[in-house]
Structure 1
Amino acid sequence: MNGLLAGIVPVFAMIALGWGLKVRGLLADDGWRAVERLTYFIFYPAFLVPAVWGADFSAGTAGPVALSTIGVSFVVAGLSLAARPVLPVSDPGFTSVFQGVIRWNGFVFLPVAGAVFGPSGLGTAAVAFGVLAPALNVICVLALAKWGAGQGGGWRLALRSLGRNPIIWACGVGAALNLSGLRPHPLMEGVFELMGPGAIALGLITAGAGLSFRYAAARPMLIVTVSVIKLLVLPVAMYFVCGWLGGDRTAQGIALLAGAAPGAAASYVLARQMGGDAPLMAGVVAFTTVASAATIPILLAAFRFL
């Protein structure tokens, strides 16, 4: 248990470090944006390609994880749409609630999955994330196109971002190399080994730097409700559905972690682009990130992974 916690606690310590550095003004906003782009387009793909490339697809864990996470996310999305008429929020506010209950942060999910389940678990988690990320992007864009107060171009922006998403491309390239039977050259492995730790560290630091607590206290009950659904209901449902689909203990644990990951920082960007309630979205992302530092270990312990 202590060994696993030693892998989880540093993840949130790095997020806290990023937030502290941003508050202290170590870098200007332009500097943080440059670091974020470097991480997103260079380091993180270099981390994901070998993880997926080396994943054991024959173990049968990726399928149940991907199906359970997509299935539960779509059911929760459908229930959210059904509840729209009774929710006391504006149309743009609803889009932020909608994103808040289904989207999750890969920068937190993937390192924790690697710490708890090792390299094979990380590969499975990366495959599941590569499948789910574009699917959730599409349905969130649909919601924003209908209820957001956008200025036009939202679909073009969203589709362009999907096509250029380096995480999706990295997962696809890694899967193709895995299925091809090719093995990485030792020189290439050396490059990946150097860049991988940098991807994790910079990804978590920039995630922390992007947190904004300014709006978290404005609508506390709404944010807490969204967070409970996201951090507790979703992971438990994904765990049991994954088992029902034939997933083993490792697959169920990865599905649990996928649901337990905090809200995605990209949700705020999409809300801002397409006329969602960006302040509410920022509050949800900040609160779920902080709360998940407690809920992830609690869930892992409750289901006997710690």
Structure 2
Amino acid sequence: MLDVLTNDILPVFSMLALGFLLGRAGKVHRAEATAVNRIAFLVLQPALIFPLVNGLDWSAFRLDAIALYACCQAILFASAFFVAYRLLRRDMVEAWLLAMATIFVNTLLYIWPISFLIYGEKAATAVTGIVAWDATVTFAFFIVTTDLLVNRASSPMQSLRRVAANPVLIAIALGVLGNVATLPTPAPVLTAMEFAGAGAAPLTLFALGVILSGHSLMPTPTVITISSLKLLVFPALVWAALQVGQRPEDWNSLLLLCAAGPSGAMAFSLGVLHGVRTDQLAPVIIWTSTLSLFSLAFLA
């Protein structure tokens, strides 16, 4: 457990911690981190997502396990949104992103690199399956719905133009199209994307740390509730769902590892991108990132 924590988990977590410390020390400012976050979101993440989606071997995945995981996401998201919006009285878009934080784990930027360090590419197939699901379906859903909620006054045509021009959605669509149609991607293009995509995770985590450093970490009722739903309820829900049916044990353990991960940085990135209030979302990211270190080390 200690080896996994020090050798595989903390090195990935260190970029978030470094950004947080430099932000608190005043060495890097929020405006700079916001610009970095925007570049990472709109430029580097598409370069990371396209090769992932384009090169997926869907036959290697246990779709029954991914479907159970997705059902757990839907159930908890609906419950968390009701709690945040109705009981905790948060603004609708803020409640939407807080609910997203309970089910959208930082799989692409956090769990995926950790699982590859620990298990290698072949052993981390289950994690790749969840990364593929979250990157193509869950993330796209939240990009579109958050944009529509923020711009409720826009006409349908304006909304369509905005959504259709989103680089992340374009990368997802092209990746799926290329995969389904088995269209070859030129090697120089893949090399360029691999080069650019390698910077997506560290830059996003670093920028996130800087931006988070300007927020209070006080565990308010909202922070405690959302963090508890993420760290306790979601893994328990996934564990219970995975008792249905038979599959290789490594799929169950690795999907549980995904569920136990911290709240995804993308909920916060979407909030920053759209100017949504993040003073409650920020501590959720910090607390879940910190408290999940030991549970991840134990489960891994």
Taking structure 1 as the reference length, the TM-score comes to: 0.74
Letter in 1 for 2:141: A
For 1:227, what is the secondary structure of its paired residue? helix
Question: How has the CA–CA distance of structure 1 residues 230 and 131 changed in structure 2, closer, same or farther, with 3 Å as cutoff?
Answer: same
* The one of 112, 123, 136 aligned to 2:114: 112
Deviation at 1:74, TM superposition (A): 1.6
Once the two structures are superposed, residues 138-193 of structure 1 have per-residue CA deviations (whole angstroms, 9 ceiling, x without a partner) of: 67789xx6xxxx89648989877654444443333223222333444443343234
- CA distance in 2 between counterparts of 1:246 and 1:169 reads 36
Paired residue for 1:232? Answer: 232
Paired residue for 2:203? Answer: 202
> Which ranges in structure 1 are unaligned for 5 or more consecutive residues?
301-305
Please say which of residues 133-142 and 46-55 is displaced more in the overlay: 133-142
Deviation at 1:128, TM superposition (A): 0.9
Q: Identity over the aligned pairs, expressed in percent?
A: 23
Letter in 1 for 2:207: T
Contact 2:61 2:129 (8 Å CA) reproduced: no
Contact 2:98 2:267 (8 Å CA) reproduced: no
Paired residue for 2:131? Answer: 126
Paired residue for 1:92? Answer: 91
- CA distance in 2 between counterparts of 1:247 and 1:172 reads 30
- CA distance in 2 between counterparts of 1:241 and 1:159 reads 36
Matches within 5 A, 1:140-219: 153=153, 163-212=164-213, 214-217=215-218, 219=220
Paired residue for 2:284? Answer: 284
Deviation at 1:21, TM superposition (A): 2.5
Deviation at 1:237, TM superposition (A): 2.2
Deviation at 1:203, TM superposition (A): 2.3
Deviation at 1:100, TM superposition (A): 3.9
Once the two structures are superposed, residues 249-275 of structure 1 have per-residue CA deviations (whole angstroms, 9 ceiling, x without a partner) of: 454345324422322444456668999
CA RMSD of superposed structures (Å) = 3.8
> Which ranges in structure 2 are unaligned for 5 or more consecutive residues?
none
Deviation at 1:196, TM superposition (A): 3.4
Aligned residues: 291
Letter in 2 for 1:124: G
Deviation at 1:72, TM superposition (A): 0.7
Question: How has the CA–CA distance of structure 1 residues 197 and 100 changed in structure 2, closer, same or farther, with 3 Å as cutoff?
Answer: closer
Please say which of residues 274-283 and 41-50 is displaced more in the overlay: 274-283
Once the two structures are superposed, residues 216-246 of structure 1 have per-residue CA deviations (whole angstroms, 9 ceiling, x without a partner) of: 3151x54233212202321232244246365
Once the two structures are superposed, residues 46-104 of structure 1 have per-residue CA deviations (whole angstroms, 9 ceiling, x without a partner) of: 2222222232211133x3354233211221233346667984x3243982653443343
Deviation at 1:205, TM superposition (A): 1.5
Letter in 2 for 1:112: I
- CA distance in 1 between counterparts of 2:115 and 2:71 reads 20
Deviation at 1:297, TM superposition (A): 1.9
Deviation at 1:36, TM superposition (A): 1.6
Taking structure 2 as the reference length, the TM-score comes to: 0.76
Contact 1:240 1:252 (8 Å CA) reproduced: no
- CA distance in 2 between counterparts of 1:44 and 1:252 reads 28
Matches within 5 A, 1:53-64: 53-61=54-62, 63-64=63-64
Please say which of residues 198-207 and 94-103 is displaced more in the overlay: 94-103
Deviation at 1:11, TM superposition (A): 0.9
Question: How has the CA–CA distance of structure 1 residues 263 and 16 changed in structure 2, closer, same or farther, with 3 Å as cutoff?
Answer: same
- CA distance in 2 between counterparts of 1:275 and 1:198 reads 24
- CA distance in 1 between counterparts of 2:29 and 2:261 reads 28
Greater relative contact order (Cα < 8 A, sep 6+): 2
For 1:75, what is the secondary structure of its paired residue? helix
Contact 1:53 1:174 (8 Å CA) reproduced: yes
